[in-house]
Amino acid sequence: MEPTTEKPQENPSMPQDPNAPPPYPSTAFAAPPQPVAYTSQPTAINVMHTPVIATPIFRDIPVRTSCANCRSDIVTRTEFEVGSMVWISCFVAVIFGLWLGCCLIPFCIPALKDVVHYCPNCNNVCGKFVRLH
Ligand SMILES: [Zn+2]
């Protein structure tokens, strides 16, 4: 009578082979990076910030420009007009005690006034220099 040897369980059907490939191939998770569809837009976007026609900067002196009305190359005729800068200076003068007519001094100072540029040919207003926006 052969003794039934109680061997430790050896299941040959499921070998724990360390070299065996994992049940799920790694490529199933680590998918290759999808090629990014480069939507290159060859249309130039940065065209807007460079105007073709340079508009003159209207300051307190006559500028050379082309009149939009009569389309002639002119040097503008400037006229000073009372703007917000004059009124603010007037109020500041009143606050500081200059209220016996002295607060009207800013109305006589062209450096505080806005400047309107007229066309000398057709009197069209070509531009305006506002000191305080
Ligand atoms: Zn004109």
- List, for residues 21-50, the tens digit of each pLDDT value: 666 655 555 656 666 666 665 555 555 554
Structural domain includes residue 62: yes
What pLDDT does 49 receive? 54
Q: Please state the rounded mean pLDDT for residues 100-119.
A: 90
Residue 45 lies in a domain: no
Q: For residue 63, what are the domain limits?
A: 52-129
Asked whether 81 and 113 are in contact (CB, 8 A), the reply is yes
Calculate how far, in angstroms, residue 116's C-alpha sits from the geometric centre of ligand 1.
Answer: 14
Average pLDDT of the chain, as a whole number = 77
70 in any annotated domain? yes
Instruction: Work out the angle at residue 45's Cα, subtended by the Cα atoms of residues 41 and 49, and round it to the nearest 5 degrees.
Output: 170
Quick check: 110 pLDDT over 80?
yes
pLDDT tens, residue by residue, 59-103: 989 999 999 899 899 999 999 999 999 999 998 988 888 777 788
Residue 34 within a domain: no
Domain count, the chain: 1
Q: Is residue 112 assigned to a domain?
A: yes
Please list, in sequence order, all residues whose beta carbon lies within 8 angstroms of the beta carbon of residue 103, skipping any fewer than 6 positions away: 90, 91, 93, 94
32 lies in some domain? no
Residues near ion ligand 1 (Cβ under 5 Å): 67, 69-70, 119, 121-122, 124
Res 56: pLDDT? 79
Q: Which pLDDT belongs to residue 97?
A: 81
Instruction: Provide the whole-model pTM.
Output: 0.55
Query: 77 CA to middle of ligand 1, Å?
Result: 11
